[in-house]
Amino acid sequence: MKISDRDVLLAIDVQNDFCSGGALAVPGGEKVVPAINRIAQRFGNMVLTQDWHPRDHVSFAPNHVGKQPFQTIELDYGTQVLWPAHCVQGSSGAEFHRDLDVTRASLVVRKGFRRGIDSYSALFENDKRTPTGLLGYLRERELKTVFVAGLALDFCVRFSAEDARKAGFEVVVIEEACRGIDLDGSVTATHRSFRQCGISVVGLEAFL
């Protein structure tokens, strides 16, 4: 696969709390790190996202009396999954995995920092209206194709890929550089959505 200066690698939330031993560990989450590091060497443009929640964030189950992680509540913008407290601003859990090569990144997008709204997508918060600023960056830089990797495939990777596609970009998800949580069949639903949206899914061999 030929990578041009109009392509960007978007590495989603490769943070300690999403890796083994973390507060919201994705099974095998840390295994995306060597894959992303290897792929990143092919790209002149790389963006990292970082979950960056206040301790009283609305998506944290401990902030709702009687609620348990992975239950849901209804908010102004729709159904919200309640998560274990994770990626709290300034905590070690919010830091990037120590082995992730962050030196190639030209931008870090912090998301989920507004107390009353969660943010899965790298482009928009969960109300589908509040921008993170990444869309403007991609357009200003005149980038055309967004390659997406990271955590978790069926939440933040999925929402980021879908929003980029809706915004008019070509989108490619690098499956072997992602890992999923798989809540109630969410990985299968993600692959179905990618097909419907025209989002390509490729393996690592495409970059060898």
Report the CATH number that the domain containing residue 119 is assigned in CATH.
Answer: 3.40.50.850
Between CA 151 and CA 29 the distance in angstroms is 7
**Residue 6 in tokens:** 């109009």
Task: Please report whether residue 59 resides in a domain.
Answer: no
Task: Please report whether residue 76 resides in a domain.
Answer: no
- Residue ranges of alpha helices (H) inside the chain are 32-40, 134-140, 158-166, 186-197
Query: Quick check: 208 pLDDT over 90?
Result: no
Query: Quick check: 81 pLDDT over 90?
Result: yes
For residue 191, what are the β-bridge partners?
none
* pLDDT > 70 fraction of the chain, expressed in percent and rounded: 100
Task: Please report whether residue 70 resides in a domain.
Answer: no
Task: Please report whether residue 60 resides in a domain.
Answer: no
Task: Please report whether residue 81 resides in a domain.
Answer: no
**Residue 169 in tokens:** 């970009």
Residue 132 has a pLDDT of 97
Residue 39 has a pLDDT of 97
Query: Quick check: 207 pLDDT over 90?
Result: no
Contacts of residue 30, defined as CB under 8 A and 6 or more positions apart, other chains included, come to 19, 20, 97, 99
Residue 83 has a pLDDT of 97
Task: Please report whether residue 80 resides in a domain.
Answer: no
| Parent domain of 202 | 7-53+86-207
Q: Is 85 exposed, middle or buried (0-12, 13-18, 19+ CB in 10 A)?
A: buried
Query: Is residue 185 within 8 Å of residue 148, measured between CB atoms?
Result: no
Number of domains comprising the chain = 1
Nearest alpha-carbon partner for 180 in 14, 50, 26: 26
Residue 90 has a pLDDT of 97
Q: Which residue type occupies 189?
A: A
Task: Enumerate the active-site residues.
Answer: 13, 111, 156
Instruction: Tell me the C-alpha to C-alpha distance, in Å, between residue 154 and each of 70, 110, 182, 191.
Output: 14, 19, 7, 9
Residue 1 has a pLDDT of 86
What are the tens digits of pLDDT across the range 161-177? 999 999 999 999 999 99
More confident residue, 19 or 208: 19
Task: Please report whether residue 99 resides in a domain.
Answer: yes
pTM (two decimals):
0.96
Task: Please report whether residue 169 resides in a domain.
Answer: yes
